[in-house]
Amino acid sequence: MDLNLSLFSYGGFSQTVEQQLPDLNQALKALPYKLPRRSDRLTQLSLLGLHQSCGDGSFDAGTHLVLASGDANLNSTILNSEQIFDSGTLPNPIGFINTVNNSTAYHICVTLGIQGQAISVSRDHCSLEAGLQIAATLQHSDPSPILLGTVDEVPNDPDQHRQRLDMPATTPLAEGSFWFHCGHPQQQQAALATIEYCGPMRDSRRIDEFLHQRQISHHLIGDFLRNSAVNEMQLPGERLDTQNLGHYLTQNADYLQQWLDQAQPGERLGMLNGTAGSDRLTVTLILKH
């Protein structure tokens, strides 16, 4: 689908996790926000990433929030499940509320003082793309600014999580949160880039023709597709060389920001991604201004 979604600023926070989960307390002390009471790690990562993208940290009250995550509240869900099934006790109210996947979006809205729509979405490796489509739908009916964020966390026991994912013990994991301030192209602020298109395609020949027609300068193959036949396709444009921090599902947001940092005005990125259990690819086009 054609989106015509403008990007005005961006930024994020990420880190690699080896054996122990890094402590966030020092980084959180530098935030200008008052943290929600007993906030969980997913909310904390979201606010750390948001702080890197928001400048003076002020937002219009009508700003909408779209939060995309591959695994959402993983830590809270694991901890509550262990308490119920291993200990045979009920979780405390705060712990249970944090397992509701829209709770992080709620905490962010309260912290920032924004009162627009708050929407959470999860679509495996394509959660960023799903968030872009929702943001574009919002802008068609309301010209208010939109905060689009991605966030994924590593659970408290990284080694156990690697076993859960059937990964070798030496596989690096990563967590992070990346944010895009976006909205209607008629806003007074000059846009840095435009999300022109985001939608599914099945036929590889059609994908190749589509990318040629749109005259892309670079293409990006998402992590999920790196070991698939898609990785062998001869696509137009230069292949984007990305820096992989470790396994996490919404890393495409990091890759997109890396490209925006180095892209020249007029260059266009074609981003390909996929999800488990589907033969459809999601194609996203981004034009740098």
Structural domains in the chain, CATH included, are: 9-183 (3.40.47.10), 193-288 (3.40.47.10)
pLDDT tens for residues 138-172?
Answer: 999 898 999 999 999 999 999 999 999 999 999 99
Q: What are phi and psi of 150, to 5 degrees?
A: -120, 145
Residue 242: C-alpha distances to residues 29, 83, 124, 246 (Å): 30, 39, 20, 12
Q: Is the pLDDT of residue 55 over 70?
A: no
Q: How confident is the model at residue 56 (pLDDT cuts 50, 70, 90)?
A: low
pLDDT digit string, tens, across residues 167-177:
999 999 999 99
How many angstroms separate the CA atoms of 247 and 249, rounded? 7
pLDDT over threshold 80, residue 206 = yes
Mean pLDDT of the chain: 92
Instruction: Report whether 251 contacts 174 (CB < 8 A).
Output: yes
Query: What's the pTM value of the predicted model, to 2 decimals?
Result: 0.95
- 223-248 pLDDT, tens digit per residue, is 999 888 888 889 999 999 888 899 99
Please state, in angstroms and rounded to a whole number, the distance separating the CA atoms of residues 155 and 230: 31
204 has pLDDT over 90: no
Q: What 8-state DSSP symbol labels residue 46?
A: H
User: Residue 57: pLDDT above 80?
Assistant: no
